[in-house]
Amino acid sequence: MPLDDAATLVDGMLPTLRDRAAEVDRAAAFPEDNLNLLRENGLLGLLVPADYGGLGGGLADLTDLAQRLAGACLSTGMIWAMHCQQVDSLVRHAAPELKDHVLPRVARGELYLASVTTEPGKGGHLLTGGAPLRAAEGSLLLDRDAPIVTGGAQADGFLITMRSAEEAADREVSLVYADRDQLDIVPQEGWHTLGMRGTSSGGLKLSGRVPPGNVVGEPGNFRHVAMESMAPVGHLAWAACWLGTAHSALRGVLDLIRSRNRPRGLDPSSDLVRERLARVRMDLELVSAYLHRVRQEVDDHRAAGTSVGGPSTQVHLNTLKVAAAEHTFAAVHKLVQLCGLFSAYRTDAAIPLERHFRDLRSASLNYADDRLLTANGALSLLDRTARLA
């Protein structure tokens, strides 16, 4: 499938995803059928270069398709977007031999990638590691508690952060790739959450042995992979997913207000209704514009071969994540208030606003906003240009 057809292909899947979304949420069931659709249609390979058989897409394609998918089912959108985030790390930082081993399988839809960064003791802090890699007979041994792994039961491969060696400091972190069959995987805690229930992000205990060539990027320097790839692509992809969900909620409410059988409270001539709609629209306009702007900034750096690690760009990327989390949740919160008990608060309402509300509540926790805001305060003091996006 040519890249130009990807949006049409995704749009064709949306009614199916939308139909399944309520059951995925109710049963907290990983949307395996949706993942299979993405596998079969080559979409796991969106960011895989054409030389490896992928679609050769870029960040604009990722944010566009993530919005579309998440408008139908946020769990499916996030599962796919976070897989693409892992692919970007491999494409940009893995050694040629590892790319040859992994990327063609991703492109063929055989390899769905999960991410293991969260760890007991350090919580969400991305750039530190507890469990160490151990060298043994030319291999690397890993033994790792992973309390939150989206799609851990379904993933065919894992990117795992580990302290780089037993004697290494906790900031010397390596990113390691492991095929599923290189690991013993023992399920731990389940995933009993308010929202994002379909991501099945329960805990795992992972142990196994991988070749040294499976370290992605320089050993001990995960910081570089995180700064250039995992964090920027994560923030862009998450923001796109959250925006897609909130946008679909707004469109649903607008359709309801325009329809003949609208509830009496949703009178289109009411100033209160109009003011509330305007505020929701403003939330989403701001996120959409900022998403486009920051995505362009990252693309410009990539095209020029320069780092996105400068303080201004880092502030912009962190601001995008926090602003998208806050404004998309606020938008749906306002839509619940506007639509009221019968059209919003009920779990069987025509527009699934209560599900969107529960799902989007996770946005500010999925990499804690507090961590990014404290980082942005410190970066702002460093950033003598104070350059705005």
121 binds ligand FAD (CB under 6 A): no
367 binds ligand FAD (CB under 6 A): yes
Stretch that binds ligand FAD, among 48-56, 275-283, 339-347, 364-372 (CB under 6 A): 364-372
123 binds ligand FAD (CB under 6 A): yes
370 binds ligand FAD (CB under 6 A): yes
Q: How far apart are CA 64 and CA 57, in angstroms?
A: 11
Rounded to the nearest whole angstrom, what is the least distance from the CB of residue 196 to ligand FAD in the complex?
4
Cα–Cα nearest to 126, from 148, 103, 93: 148
Question: Contact, 149 vs 200, CB < 8 A?
Answer: no
30 binds ligand FAD (CB under 6 A): no
Rounded to the nearest whole angstrom, what is the least distance from the CB of residue 93 to ligand FAD in the complex?
18
- Nearest to ligand FAD of 196, 231 (CB atom): 196
133 binds ligand FAD (CB under 6 A): no
Q: What is the length of the chain?
A: 389
- Nearest to ligand FAD of 176, 253 (CB atom): 176
- Nearest to ligand FAD of 149, 287 (CB atom): 149
29 binds ligand FAD (CB under 6 A): no
Residue nearest to ligand FAD (CB): 123
The footprint of ligand FAD on this chain (CB under 6 A) covers a number of residues equal to: 21
Stretch that binds ligand FAD, among 108-116, 225-233, 246-254, 278-286 (CB under 6 A): 108-116
Q: How far apart are CA 222 and CA 215, in angstroms?
A: 9
Gyration radius from the chain CA atoms: 21
Q: How far apart are CA 250 and CA 244, in angstroms?
A: 10
Rounded to the nearest whole angstrom, what is the least distance from the CB of residue 279 to ligand FAD in the complex?
26
DSSP for 226-295? IIIIIHHHHHHHHHHHHHHHHHHHHHHHHHHHHSTT--TT--TT-HHHHHHHHHHHHHHHHHHHHHHHHH
Which residues from 187-246 bind ligand FAD, rule CB under 6 A? 196, 199, 201
| DSSP type of residue 214 | G
- CA angle 195–157–239, rounded 5-degree value: 40
- Nearest to ligand FAD of 277, 325 (CB atom): 325
Phi, psi dihedrals of residue 284, rounded to the nearest 5°: -75, -35
- Nearest to ligand FAD of 90, 148 (CB atom): 148
DSSP for 120-135? TTTBT-TT---SBPEE
Stretch that binds ligand FAD, among 89-97, 135-143, 305-313, 369-377 (CB under 6 A): 369-377
127 binds ligand FAD (CB under 6 A): no
Question: What tokens appear for 271 in the block?
Answer: 């100033």
Q: Name the site residues for ligand FAD (rule: CB under 6 A).
A: 114-118, 123-124, 148-150, 196, 199, 201, 362, 365-368, 370-371, 374
